[in-house]
Amino acid sequence: MFRRQFDQAGPTGSKKRIFARTLGLFRPFGGAVVLLVILITATSALDLLPALIVKGIIDAADAGSAAAADGSAATSRIDLLFVGLIASVLVSGVLGVALGYVNQSIGQGVMYRLRADLHAHLQQLSVRFFTQTRTGEILSRVSTDVNGVQGAVTGTFTEFLQNAITLAVALGLMVSLEWRLAAIALVILPLWVYPTMRVGQIQRRLMRLWHEENAKMSSHLEETLSVSGVMLVKAFGRQTHESDRFEASNRVLRDLSVRRMMAGRWFNLATGLFGALAPGAVYWFGGRAVVGDELSIGSVVAFAVLTQRVFQPFAGIARINTTLLSSLALFERIFEYLDLPIEVEQRPDARPLPTPKGHVHLEGVSFAYGAGGRHALADINLEVLPGQMAALVGPSGAGKTTATYLLQRFYDPQAGRVLIDGYDLRDVTLDSVARAVGAVMQDTYLFHASLADNIRYGRLDAPLEDVEAAAAAAGLRSMVERLPEGLATVVGERGYRLSGGEKQRVAIARAILKDPPILVLDEATASLDSRLEREIREATARLAVGRTTIVIAHRLSTVLAADVIFVFDGGRIVEQGRHAELLARDGLYASLYREQFETDPLDETPTDPRAGHDGATTIVEVAVTPGAPVGRV
């Protein structure tokens, strides 16, 4: 199963494994990461230098006030230290700009690669994944989750390094100034480790739940706010119902967000109190040491400053840890998609399919959509010679469309082979299969783009002249002339600005432009009026000329002139032959034929899609099963 049922009780993956894999994303940027560490070290040292300079200034002032004869020397030293203070701040600022540039370059590079890898991997998944996963959930992972990760990649990791290096340098300076105070700090700071880890685990679980609920909401919005969804909701008057569904999901997101924000608030309060009291404790201890002549005033002030500089990065690391742990939930969701198996994979030694002649052969093919499920195809043997027209007929759910899916290599069979010109499709490149087989399916999908771009999808490098010729051949000329922007007209989401017949003609024009040697026609004229049916059939006839054509026939008169008819039933081919032969056998084909013509006696003229548009042949179709769904399996 592609779609995992996630454990709602908490994270599902190994934190250590996910973190190690996340760090692996930075491997291609090794040189830049080394430069980043150097810059962080330099800026951290420069940020701590003012504490030592302040110590020097105070000690020089104290010494100068104690010995008036050395006042001028002390003043000069104070001035020099002040210049050093200004220089350290300026240099730190310049290095900070360089640090920001290197950090963003690394972070955005990681995000670019992650987005590209995720998109490329999703493109390689079989159709099975997309039929089992809601579009909104996919979009949520590709968009929302990846964007959520961006903050961790571009900020959190760098901040963690910066705080860790600052903490190490500051502790070293504290030890050099007063080892007893430094020892106390080293004992107290680790006490924050366990509560920090605990808060991080809570936020990681809440983050995962939030993004899963957000994915559900995205799916709901994608389904109900699309053109099709809106029309369905309005047609059934379900606006209140959908608002209630959205309200419930929105309420869950609100509650999870509050819980995320409140997680660890008491821990953060304790951390803030410690940060406020620590400098006071240093001044108390240091004041007593100054009275006892054990420390200078400058050392006490410097130590107090360093205490804050130690606590700030440690508190930052504590906060970052919770952020990292919660970000791991996003990385985990992204890695789950990256780890999905590629069912239809191109072999490393795959070769392009030579110039295909159009010989199609399904040899002992068996296929089931789900593991252990009913076979959609069982031991299918089907052969179509170059230039022949083959018709696939049978009741809905018999396996006709599945056979064409295997021919286009949307799936691979569990048994048997699918061959074109004797080449097993698993041994040739996916691109060459896509170039060899073209399809005009019932459900025409158009992009929210111009009419020209939708047609040009058949051949991306086609010049405008070829696009215009394909449109004319598909019978779109009169429609294009009526449009104010012609071929530049945007067709709307899924082509909803066009009628059903116009969308079908766009699909035919796309296939004409592609010019494949093998053509699959899943007849889509049953829902159109007779005039549009005739226009679509004539355009289809022009498209089929000179090609191996496989027609999924829902109307029997289409197959009257077919070279070979394959009758499907229950995933098997139960009959095979020409129209007259099959009628003579008085089997399933004859039964379907008689049933349909008894209910809808239309023209029985043989109709060959290859006949061209010479006025001699008109395709007239008769549905196989009255009221049956169009040929989906």
H helices of 394-499, in order, are 400-407, 430-436, 451-456, 464-473, 477-482
DSSP label of 398? S
The two structure tokens encoding residue 166: 């600052």
What is the pLDDT averaged over residues 17-26?
83
- At 556, the pLDDT band (50, 70, 90 cuts) reads low
Residue type (1 letter), 133? T
- Confidence check: pLDDT of 613 > 50: no
Tens digit of each residue's pLDDT (9 = 90 or more) over 356-374: 889 999 999 999 987 767 8
- Confidence check: pLDDT of 269 > 50: yes
* Cα gap 615→633, rounded to integer Å: 35
* Cα gap 450→259, rounded to integer Å: 46
Structure confidence at residue 272 (pLDDT)? 63
Q: Which residue has tokens 């021919």?
A: 407
- Confidence check: pLDDT of 633 > 50: no
Q: Lowest-confidence range among 238-247, 274-283, 364-373, 556-565?
A: 274-283
DSSP annotation string for 486-501: GGG-B--GGGTTS-HH
Tens digit of each residue's pLDDT (9 = 90 or more) over 372-393: 678 899 999 999 999 888 999 9
- At 530, the pLDDT band (50, 70, 90 cuts) reads low
The two structure tokens encoding residue 614: 């010479």
Half-sphere exposure (Cβ direction) of 19: Cα atoms closer than 13 Å? 10
* Residue ranges covered by each domain of the chain: 15-338, 360-611
Structure confidence at residue 615 (pLDDT)? 31
Structure confidence at residue 364 (pLDDT)? 94
* Cα gap 434→440, rounded to integer Å: 13
Structure confidence at residue 614 (pLDDT)? 35
* Cα gap 246→187, rounded to integer Å: 51
Q: Lowest-confidence range among 32-36, 102-106, 290-294, 396-400?
A: 290-294
- At 35, the pLDDT band (50, 70, 90 cuts) reads very high
- Confidence check: pLDDT of 511 > 80: yes
Q: Diameter of the chain by CA atoms?
A: 129
Q: Lowest-confidence range among 59-63, 217-221, 429-433?
A: 59-63
Higher pLDDT, 570 or 155: 570
Report for 303-312, 474-483, 616-625: range of highest mean pLDDT: 474-483
- Confidence check: pLDDT of 116 > 50: yes
* Cα gap 544→608, rounded to integer Å: 9
**Nearest alpha-carbon partner for 182 in 270, 52, 296, 285:** 285
Report the first-to-last Cα separation within the chain, whole angstroms.
19
- Confidence check: pLDDT of 321 > 80: no
Q: Which residue has tokens 């991306």?
A: 460
SS3 384: strand
Three-state SS letters, 56-119: HHHHHHHHHHHCHHHHHHHHHHHHHHHHHHHHHHHHHHHHHHHHHHHHHHHHHHHHHHHHHHHH
Predicted TM-score (pTM) above 0.75: no
Determine contact, residues 441/508, Cβ cutoff 8 Å.
no
Determine contact, residues 263/326, Cβ cutoff 8 Å.
no
* Cα gap 517→535, rounded to integer Å: 23
The strand ranges marked E within 324-441 are: 360-368, 375-384, 389-393, 415-420, 423-424, 437-440
Which residues contact residue 179 at a Cβ distance below 8 angstroms, ignoring those fewer than 6 apart?
none
What is the pLDDT averaged over residues 319-331?
70
In Å, what is the CA distance from 324 to each residue of 264, 318, 336, 383, 614? 15, 10, 18, 58, 70
Q: What is the CA radius of gyration of the chain?
A: 36
Residue type (1 letter), 586? D
Structure confidence at residue 171 (pLDDT)? 76
Half-sphere exposure (Cβ direction) of 556: Cα atoms closer than 13 Å? 28
- Confidence check: pLDDT of 205 > 80: no
What is the pLDDT averaged over residues 117-125?
87
What is the pLDDT averaged over residues 344-348?
89
Across the chain, what does the average pLDDT equal? 77
- At 569, the pLDDT band (50, 70, 90 cuts) reads very high
Higher pLDDT, 65 or 298: 298
* Cα gap 246→74, rounded to integer Å: 72
DSSP annotation string for 542-601: HHHTTSEEEEE-SBGGGGTT-SEEEEEETTEEEEEE-HHHHHHHTSHHHHHHHHHHHHS-
- Confidence check: pLDDT of 334 > 70: yes
Structure confidence at residue 164 (pLDDT)? 79
Tens digit of each residue's pLDDT (9 = 90 or more) over 458-506: 888 889 999 988 888 888 888 888 888 888 888 877 777 887 778 888 8
SS3 147: helix
pLDDT above 70 coverage of the chain, percent: 74
* Cα gap 513→453, rounded to integer Å: 12
Specify the fold of 15-338: ABC transporter transmembrane region fold (1.20.1560)
Does CATH number 3.40.50.620 belong to domain 360-611? Answer: no
Higher pLDDT, 628 or 450: 450
**Nearest alpha-carbon partner for 622 in 538, 522, 546, 526:** 526
* Cα gap 466→526, rounded to integer Å: 30
Determine contact, residues 211/476, Cβ cutoff 8 Å.
no
* Cα gap 550→520, rounded to integer Å: 5
What is the pLDDT averaged over residues 114-133?
85
- At 65, the pLDDT band (50, 70, 90 cuts) reads low
- Confidence check: pLDDT of 560 > 80: no
What are the beta bridge partners of residue 274? Answer: none
